Structure 1
Amino acid sequence: MSYWDNPANMASNTLPSTNPYGNYTVVDTVPKEILHMVDPHWYQFPPMNPLWYGLVGFFMVVMGFLSVCGNFVVIWVFMNTKSLRTPANLLVVNLAFSDFLMMFTMFPPMVISCYWQTWTMGAFFCEIYAFLGSLFGCVSIWTMLWITLDRYNVIVKGVSAEPLTTGGSMMRILFTWGVTLAWCLPPFFGWNRYVPEGNMTACGTDYLTEDVFSHSYLYVYSVFVYFFPLFANIYLYFFIVKAVANHEKQMREQAKKMGVKSLRSEESQKTSAECRLAKVALMTVSLWFMAWTPYLVINYTGMLNKASVTPLFSIWGSVFAKANAVYNPIVYAISHPKYRAALEKKLPCLSCTTEGRDNQSEVASTSTTSNEKSESA
């Protein structure tokens, strides 16, 4: 008797399995209403070890709690502190807002799916889930690029740069949300599609289809949300560090002419400003690279060599990307000395001590926002 001659198999509407565990596959627990969205590639894999579902679920609970609380505090402190309501800081607030929405909408469904070890919320919500993840992730990426561009404008161009205004900042934010929304809608209309991922606990873009037209969306989209922002960040930070290094060189030359050892205090001489800023740049680019590269690797592997993509392999994209929403508040807000001062005043239990860190704060302020420029304008 063939596979399809078995009434139970016909009723389950599943494809025959080619894995050594017989007919037990990772797709077995998937509700019938979303089976049409599951690529046949996943039917060859046995069920994942339940331990993985538990670990991912626990990770998402911790990351979700930290991200939602952390980004909410960032938004609340910035919006309720007059000295922090500057054009440049609107970009930081927008970043915190997009990260907050990402984890607020992403982590509960994924935790539920990890508990049931499959996607249980239907086909439509699977598409909405993937759409929201793509939307908020792209907004975060481009907001980080705008923040870096503002740093470049202040540090490299200096007084010759055109000050960032509230209107200019709002235009950048509206542009980011509008263009990102336009890029994330095509899968609803046939240019690629949103489908369950191999682990069946989340949904994303379809990288396993053999359709070249569908692949073209992922190729173009990866340029828009990965390659261009990455290389732009590297380019901008290169010139930021170079400008600070030149400034430090000029200060040393000036000190030599004045017959003093340094124009800086003894404490600030221990670590040069260019070294500190280089560390900030390296950390920012490295964290960005670690957050979004797994998704790129998974998508490109699925398109070019899908035999290498397993359900476990498909998990890492979600894990690393969502972790990005946790450390963004630390990189872009808590490193800001004025934010730390406001946090210490409004929420002393969460404050970060700034005593004895005046010099580090000065560098962090210069490398994080353009407050000095905005205020002087």
Structure 2
Amino acid sequence: MYRVLNISSMAPPVVNSTPGPFDGPQWPHQAPRSTYLMVAFLMGTVVVLASFVNGLVILVSLRYKKLRSPLNYILVNLAIADLLVTFCGSTVSFSNNINGYFILGKSVCEFEGFMVSLTGIVGLWSLAILAFERYIVVCKPMGDFRFQQRHAVIGCLFTWVWSLIWTAPPLFGWCSYVPEGLRTSCGPNWYTGGANNNSYIMMLYITCFLMPLSIIIFSYTTLVFTLRAIAAQQKESESTQRAEREVTRMVIAMVLAFLICWCPYTTFALVVAIDKDIKISPTLASMPAYFSKTATIYNPIIYVFMNKQFRNCMLTMMCCGRNPFGTVEDTSTSGSSTGKTEVSSISAGISKVSPA
């Protein structure tokens, strides 16, 4: 009788204890089940749309030779990185949120955290290289510089090597990859205190967010001022003024998209790394990470589909060789030509702001 009573008295703590992130559903301990299902729906939508648009970018680039310009190498590199984020991150998150916990175990958690960090940073630096390329070609700080194939290859290699340098350390003891937020996705450990974790988060913030963001803002800001100076000399030309306004709107869209996507995640990580006493709910802590994955959808829309030449090829391929909107002017080489008028300089600027 004593043993029976003793066992029954121990049962409630076992039943009511919160399971580990790899052991069982985290609802309602971390958040209601409905929250997990809503996140699963979001991730499922991201998987479908990101796979389609990025796959389309790669397929169209491979099919049409005129799209295989050096700059488009960077765009394809961005599409590949976005696809890998989708396959290694969004699909895993979708499955985990359906089940309410990380069903694939600790090893896959570390792999997911590493791959999403690696490919996400590749995407960030690809955007920075795109911005810098437009700056040096349009603003010409290096004279009549021509962005060639070898420059594009070096740029692509740089994004992967630099990203690997800063995402491999958690696999070897400098910080770690752990379940975050709702405990259905993994990332760098910015939850646990200590100099080891804090120093890594600070370095990651500087080298993989502030640096590419600074390059993007500097490049596009200089580009806009350069084109405005040209437009000021052509005040009587309505087409020149319209072109300058178009470039400004596109640049603002690109910078805002970058900030809206990545600022919440990096800000949360930095704040928590600095102040470990701050209390953030699991749902709120997980949202920036999931939201950053949506960049895999609008990256190709902003940086690729806004290009007239690419859009023409895409429509032609999807409509079995016929473009329902007619022929779109090819602007892929306008940035490389030496215009005889200031209006041609504006046209060159547009073709370089809108990927060609």
TM-score, length-scaled by structure 2: 0.85
Structure 1 residues 228 and 159, CA gap change in structure 2 (3 angstroms): closer
Q: Say if 2:260 is the partner of 1:309.
A: no
CA separation of 1:211 and 1:349: change in aligned 2, threshold 3 A: farther
Determine what percentage of the aligned residue pairs are the same residue.
Answer: 26
Deviation at 1:213, TM superposition (A): 2.0
The answer (yes or no) to whether the contact 1:343–1:351 under 8 Å persists in 2 is no
Q: Counterparts in 2 of 1:174-213, with a 5 A limit? A: 174-213=157-196
1:172 matched to 2:158: no
Residue equivalent to 2:352: 366
Identify unmatched segments of 5+ residues in structure 1: 13-22, 35-41, 253-260, 372-377
- Residues 34-92 of structure 1 show CA distances to partners (whole Å, capped at 9, x for unaligned) of 9xxxxxxx9xx933111111111111111111001100100110121111111111001
Among 287, 299, 302, which residue is 2:269 paired with?
299
Structure 1 residue 131 and structure 2 residue 114: aligned?
Answer: yes
Q: Deviations over 1:230-278 (max 9, x none)?
A: 12211111110011111112233xxxxxxxx53x5xxx37x62222111
Q: Does the 8 A contact of 1:337 with 1:364 survive in 2?
A: no
SS of the residue corresponding to residue 56 of structure 1 reads helix
Is the aligned partner of 1:246 residue 2:229? yes
Structure 1, residues 87-121: CA drift from partner, whole Å, max 9, x if none? 11100110011101110221221111111111111
- Per-residue deviation, 1:310: 1.7
Aligned pair partner of 1:110 in 89, 93, 96: 93
8 A contact 1:292–1:321 mirrored in 2 = yes
For 2:325 and 2:274, the matched residues in 1 are separated by 50
Of stretches 151-160 and 184-193 in structure 1, the one that deviates more from structure 2 is: 151-160
| Alpha carbons 1:301, 1:308 under 8 Å: kept | no
For residue 159 of structure 1, report the CA deviation from its aligned partner: 9.0
Change (3 A) 1:278 1:88: same
Q: Does 1:56 align with 2:39?
A: yes
**Residue pair 1:340, 1:353 contacting (<8 A) in 2 also:** no
Tell which deviates more after alignment, 311-320 or 217-226. Answer: 311-320
Secondary structure in 2 matching 1:121: coil
**Which residue identity does 2:243 align to in structure 1?**
A
Pair 1:276 & 2:267 matched: no
Runs of 5+ unmatched residues, structure 2: 1-7, 333-346
CA distance in 2 between counterparts of 1:197 and 1:351 reads 48
**In the alignment, what sits opposite 1:19?**
none
1:28 lines up with 2:19 in the alignment: yes
Mapped partners of 2:53, 2:323: distance in 1? 13
Distance 1:29 1:188, change over 3 A: closer
**Are the equivalent residues in 2 in contact too, given 1:340–1:352 (CA < 8 A)?**
no
For 2:128, the equivalent position in structure 1 comes to 145
Q: Does the CA-based 8 Å contact 1:145-1:233 persist in structure 2?
A: yes
The alignment status of 1:91 with 2:74, answered yes or no, reads: yes
Moved more, 277-286 or 357-366: 357-366
User: Is 1:346 aligned to 2:317, yes or no?
Assistant: yes
* 1:10-49 paired onto structure 2 within 5 Å: 23=16, 27-28=18-19, 30-32=21-23, 46-49=29-32
Q: Which residue identity lines up with residue 297 of structure 1 in the other structure? A: T
* CA displacement at 1:316 relative to structure 2: 1.3
Partners in 1 of 2:76 and 2:181 — Cα distance? Answer: 34
Separation of aligned partners in 1, 2:350 and 2:325: 12
1:79 & 1:277 partners in 2: Cα distance? Answer: 28
Q: How many residues align?
A: 333
Paired with 1:141 and 1:349, the residues of 2 have a C-alpha distance of 34
Contact 1:337/1:365, CA 8 A, preserved across alignment:
no
Distance 2:295 2:168 in 1: 23
Query: What CA distance in whole angstroms lies between the structure 2 residues aligned with 1:161 and 1:8?
Result: 77
Distance 2:330 2:91 in 1: 41
- The 1:196–1:349 alpha-carbon spacing in structure 2 relative to 1, beyond 3 Å, is farther
Counterparts in 2 of 1:359 and 1:139: CA distance versus 1, 3 Å: closer
* Structure 2 equivalent of residue 18 of structure 1: none
Calculate the TM-score normalised by the size of structure 1: 0.80
Letter in 1 for 2:118: L
Separation of aligned partners in 1, 2:158 and 2:164: 10
* C-alpha contact 2:70 2:149 (8 A) present in aligned 1: yes
Q: Does 1:324 align with 2:295?
A: yes
Tell me by how many angstroms 1:153 deviates.
1.4
Contact 2:21 2:184 in 1 (8 A): no
